[in-house]
Amino acid sequence: MNRLSKRQLREQLRRQTESYLSRGGEIKTVSPGQSGLTDFSAGRSHSELFVAAPRQPRTYLNEAVAALQQRKLSAKSSKPAKPTTRPRKKIIYDDFGEPLREVWVEE
């Protein structure tokens, strides 16, 4: 498929527009904010045309969030604090200060 360049597309569009106008076609301008929707005869608004389901009441979660936070805080305070000691590497030296080996020690 041969793709046209932007210049070729512009030229093709210009020719088609001139052909349309020469056959008696008319180009109408539309003011900004005007809608192309014409189905307002039943008194429906724009939003009613696009909404499929009726609006449902909102569920407020303030109480649920407060209960979760309270549970979280009580769970933290009831557990004793666990010390965060990790094993560390200790180097064993000989009598002359040369390293012999490494051992892991928990303090």
Q: What Cα–Cα distance (Å) separates residue 54 from each residue in 23, 34, 43, 63?
A: 48, 26, 17, 26
99, 93 Cβ separation under 8 angstroms: yes
pLDDT one-digit tens code per residue, 43-99: 555 566 566 677 788 888 898 899 999 988 887 766 666 677 888 999 999 988 899
| Contact partners, residue 4, CB within 8 Å, separation at least 6 | 12
Q: For the ranges 7-16, 26-35, 50-59, 65-74, which has the lowest average pLDDT?
A: 50-59
Give the per-residue pLDDT at 43. Answer: 56
Give the per-residue pLDDT at 78. Answer: 66
What region, left, alpha or beta, does residue 24 occupy, with left being phi > 0 and alpha being psi -120 to 50 degrees?
left
The distance from CA 82 to its chain's CA centroid, rounded to whole angstroms, is 38
